[in-house]
Amino acid sequence: MKLEDFELGGTQLKASDFKTGKVLTTEWKPDLKYAWDNGVAIGRYLAEFKEGRIIARVCHKCDRIMLPPRMFCELCFRPTDEWMYVKDTGVINTFSIAKVNWDASRRGPKEPPLLPAVIEIDGASEGMGIMHMLGEADPKDFKIGMKVKAVWKKPEDRTGAITDILYFKPVAAGTEDKNKGRPEGRGKEVR
């Protein structure tokens, strides 16, 4: 047999055939629902968000203060040892200026861009922090290494979600000192 003999054939289509519904498809809209158990680490993390606080977990073996917190150290592969509050300030590790929404639809001409950012939080180990949004400044004014601080929702509006923080804003000159630097050592254990 020739290779052509294996072709199953079909009908050549024009763009107008699609528009006029001559090409038949089967559609289905799934109705799937999930509810992920937060568990110990993320359960506590989110409960603290509701109180306007950020909490981390410490591994004594590798001396990392991990944020987001986790009940096991993925490197030492052992349970982590203690809770520790960290600050709600940090520095921008990286950021982007998004002109499209999460479903890739384009933002309207009057909508400001979204500013996703990774913030290294003061008190957590280097390179660890929160993936969140930036706000309250012109996109072109944000820089890597810039000091930022969380802007929280009003207490009565918080639900125990990462959106209890609205965004991180640049720390105004003069207010920087009291949030500066990482705490020395491990700080106080929190139960």
Q: Using CB under 8 A as the criterion, which residues of the chain lie in contact with another protein when the complex forms?
A: 26, 28, 30-42, 70-72, 74-75, 77-79
Q: Facing residues of 90 across strands?
A: 121, 148
148 contacts 175 by C-beta, under 8 angstroms? no
Work out what residue 3 binds among Zn ion, another protein, none; the CB cut-off runs from 5 to 8 Å by kind: none
Q: Which does 167 bind (CB under 5 to 8 A by kind): another protein, Zn ion, none?
A: none
Which of another protein, Zn ion, none does residue 39 bind (CB under 5 to 8 Å by kind)?
another protein
- Phi and psi at residue 74, in whole multiples of 5°? -70, -15
SS3 assignment, position 92: strand
What residues contact residue 85 under an 8 Å CB cut-off, 6+ apart?
48, 53, 54, 55, 56, 123, 187, 190
Q: Which of 67, 92, 85, 63 is nearest to 76 (CA)?
A: 63
Please list every residue from 3 through 62 that binds Zn ion, using CB under 5 A. 59, 61-62
Q: Which residues pair with 17 in a beta bridge?
A: none
Cα distance between the two ends of the chain: 76
Q: Looking at beta carbons only, is 29 or 154 nearer to another protein? A: 29
Q: Which residues are CB-neighbours of 108 under 8 A, at least 6 positions away?
A: none
Measured from the CB atom, is 46 or 117 closer to another protein? Answer: 46
C-beta of residue 139 within 8 angstroms of C-beta of residue 111: no
For Zn ion, the closer of residues 57 and 87 by Cβ is 57
Question: Measured in whole angstroms, how far is the alpha carbon of residue 109 from the centre of its chain?
Answer: 25
Task: Kindly tell me which of 62 and 172 has the beta carbon lying closer to Zn ion.
Answer: 62
Residue 28 binds what, of another protein, Zn ion, none (CB under 5 to 8 Å, by partner type)? Answer: another protein
- Least distance to another protein from the beta carbon of 147, Å? 29
Nearer to another protein, 80 or 89 (CB): 80
Residue 37 partner contact from Zn ion, another protein, none using kind-dependent CB cut-offs of 5 to 8 Å: another protein
Which 59-88 positions form the footprint of Zn ion (CB under 5 A)? 59, 61-62, 73, 76
Number of residues that bind Zn ion (CB under 5 A): 5
The residues binding Zn ion (CB under 5 A) are 59, 61-62, 73, 76
